[in-house]
C-alpha cells in the first residue's frame, strides 16, 4: 500500500488527539509529507478517528491532486499543502480545535510567552486573520502568521502546528495548548508576567539539545 507507514501514523495520532482531549468527534486533520516522493498522506474528511483505517487515508501530490484513495481528503488540505510546498523544515502537520488555544484564537490574540514551553513553537504563537475553512485565503493567512514558527492560531477556528514528524507536531500542539490554558487562567486572576524575547530565544536553543540525543 502506497505510503503505508505514513497512513498508519496518521491513524495512530488521530486517535491520540481524541484520547489526549485535543479534539472531539471528527474535528481537525493530520498529514505527513514524503519529500522524496513529493506525496502527501492526509486524513479523510468527516470520518471518526476510531473508525479510520489506513486504507481511508488519502494520498495527494504536492499540487493537491489525488493520487490514491477512495475517500475525500480533509477540506483543509490546502492549508497543509502550502507549508510542504514553501517550507523545507516541515514534514508533518496537525490542525485541531483545542479548547484553550481556540479560546485565544476567538479573541484574535497572539499567545505570548507566559511559560517557557512556548519555545517549542517559537517566540510566541501569532493569530492568523480569519478566513473561511478550506479556502486558499485561510492557507495563505496561516502560512504568513507562522513564518519563523511551528504553530499558529487560526482566528475563530483553532490551531495548526508543524514539525519534522507527527510526533513533534503533536508535542507542539500539547505544549501550545498547555500555554494557552495557563494564559487563560492567569488572565482570570491577574496580569500574567510575560517572559522576555531573550529568554525564549535561549530556551529555543536549549530545546535543540534536550532529551536523549548524542552524548
d(CA 100, CA 114): 14
Alpha carbon 140 to chain centroid distance? 15
d(CA 125, CA 140): 16
Catalytic residues: 76
130-140 b/e (C-beta count within 10 Å ≥ 16 → b): ebeeeeeebbb
* Beta partners for residue 30, in sequence order: 94
d(CA 161, CA 156): 16
Helical segments of 20-111, H only: 77-86, 99-106
d(CA 6, CA 131): 29
Decide: 184 and 107 in contact? Cβ < 8 Å.
no
Amino acid at each position: 500500500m502506497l505510503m503505508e507507514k505514513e497512513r498508519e501514523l496518521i491513524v495512530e495520532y488521530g486517535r491520540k488527539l481524541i484520547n489526549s482531549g485535543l479534539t472531539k468527534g471528527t474535528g481537525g486533520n493530520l498529514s505527513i509529507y514524503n519529500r522524496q516522493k513529493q506525496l502527501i498522506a492526509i486524513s479523510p474528511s468527516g470520518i471518526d478517528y476510531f473508525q479510520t483505517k489506513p486504507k481511508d487515508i488519502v494520498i495527494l501530490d504536492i499540487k493537491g491532486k489525488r493520487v490514491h484513495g477512495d475517500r475525500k481528503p480533509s477540506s483543509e488540505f490546502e492549508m497543509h499543502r502550502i507549508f510542504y510546498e514553501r517550507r523545507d523544515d516541515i514534514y508533518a502537520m496537525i490542525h485541531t480545535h483545542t479548547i484553550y488555544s481556540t479560546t485565544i484564537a476567538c479573541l484574535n490574540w497572539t499567545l505570548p510567552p507566559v511559560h517557557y514551553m512556548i519555545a517549542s513553537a517559537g517566540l510566541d504563537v501569532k493569530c492568523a486573520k480569519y478566513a473561511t475553512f478550506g479556502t486558499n485565503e485561510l492557507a495563505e493567512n496561516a502560512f504568513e502568521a507562522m513564518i519563523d514558527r511551528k504553530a499558529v492560531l487560526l482566528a475563530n477556528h483553532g490551531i495548526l502546528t508543524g514539525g519534522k514528524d507527527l510526533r513533534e507536531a503533536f508535542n507542539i500542539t500539547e505544549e501550545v495548548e498547555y500555554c494557552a490554558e495557563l494564559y487563560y487562567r492567569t488572565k482570570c486572576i491577574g496580569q500574567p508576567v510575560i517572559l522576555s524575547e531573550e529568554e525564549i530565544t535561549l530556551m529555543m536553543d536549549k530545546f535543540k539539545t534536550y532529551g536523549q540525543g548524542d552524548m
